[in-house]
Amino acid sequence: MRAAMACVVIAMLAQGCAGGAAQSVSGGPAGPGVPSYGTYGAESYFKVEWQADERAGKPLVSGYVTNQWGVPARNVRLRVEALDAAGNVTASYIGHVFGYVTPSSRVYFEVPVAAKAPAYRVTVLSFDLIQGHI
């Protein structure tokens, strides 16, 4: 099992996982000429669901990150991009998924945004594997 996980991690690194290549976790294609930089291949490991929301009259993006992988993670960082009607990025925000995102778990997050937007794109920027599981 340990050797299999090590092979998966090595394959991820060989594909550029740590390089931050353009990749959207979900939420549609990037706007014209605007790449969405997140962790390459993260959509294979994490499912991200979100919605525009509000708390105390202030806009935010809330949702869940589901670990679809067999390795626990922590320090999951998200980028929330506000998009205009044409799909262009108008603002970008960094958020965190607090706690551990263990295999098959679904963890809630909220990212405050300055103003409501017609649409959003959420990507996984980075995460740390929990030591002892590779």
Q: Which CATH architecture has domain 2-129?
A: Sandwich (2.60)
Predicted local confidence at residue 61, as pLDDT = 98
- From CA 9, how far away is CA 3, in angstroms rounded? 10
Confidence (pTM): 0.69
List pLDDT tens digits, range 105-132: 999 999 999 999 999 999 999 999 887 7
- From CA 58, how far away is CA 51, in angstroms rounded? 14
